[in-house]
Amino acid sequence: MKVFLSVDMEGISGLTDPEEMRAGGRGYERGCELMTGDANAAIRAAFDAGAERVVVTDSHGSGKNLRADLIDERCTLVRGPYKPMRMGEGLDPSFDVALYVGYHARAGAPRGVLNHTWMGREIQNVHLNGDVAGEIRLMAAYAGSLGVPVGLVAGDEAACEEARDVLGGVETVAVKTGRDRYAAELIPPARAQALIYERTLRALHNPEGWHRLTIPAPYTLRVEWNSTSIAQSCSLIPGVKLADPRTTEFTTSDYSDVVGLLGVCATLAGDIGCTGRQYG
């Protein structure tokens, strides 16, 4: 069995503050350790379930958050910024299953801890073929386009609810329940990581519970930005058009173009409009 593990940070056990997500912020170094601990719980379960190979992608921000010196030595780690497929970098059709740990709810989700879609403040909404899409839907669709099902999603309760809405009865692990965007009732990390291990092990022993999200081509990505200047700049990319002064649209028959385009647009948006608090 070959397992792909994508690890984001906002849905990691014990974390609620934007400062804990940002290099140089108060609590960030401890946040990286907690992120690595949650990842290791899933990695250990994967190998205990019989995986021959586990590939882990650091899917948060700069992609330099997971502690390479503390990660389970049996896996391989994809890290660094500007990865072409971002949160899905390293995934290909040879994998049996994808696992998502540390994931969060989409922008605007009620009681979603640190809820956002792709960027903390620049993106208001994303729609994929007419359906509102957070990172769970976007990444599950990428896996599905490669023929790979999703076996587990771990994050806050709102993220788990979103995962079940997108993927039906997929195994989930809620490590915290949002009180507001920046506050949550937490399961202490040691117990949360034990839950991640147990649920991952259970999920990998039950392939009938894996769910592949299949979205028919062509794919239309609609992004509502918080700024007309971001939308205008992104519309200069060939194939991208303005749907209204703050919204861009792009249609393709290759889903990898959707992921790649979001990455390029996010880089542009960050340069144009990323000031102040990351999630402000």
Active-site residue list: 116
Distance CA 213, CA 92 (A): 15
The letter for the amino acid at 111 is: R
Inter-residue contact 114 to 10 (CB < 8 Å): yes
Q: In what order do the strands lie in the sheet with 131-132?
A: 131-132, 123-128, 219-225, 247-252, 241-244
Q: What is the 3-state secondary structure (H, E, C) of the chain?
A: CEEEEEECCCCCCCCCCHHHHCCCCCCHHHHHHHHHHHHHHHHHHHHHCCCCEEEEEECCCCCCCCCCCCCCCCCEEECCCCCCCHHHCCCCCCCCEEEEEEECCCCCCCCCCCCCECECCCEEEEEECCEECCHHHHHHHHHHHCCCCEEEEEEEHHHHHHHHHHHCCCEEEEEEEEEECCEEEECCHHHHHHHHHHHHHHHHCCHHHCECCCCCCCEEEEEEECCHHHHHHHCCCCCCEEEECCEEEEEECCHHHHHHHHHHHHHHHHHHHCCCCCCC
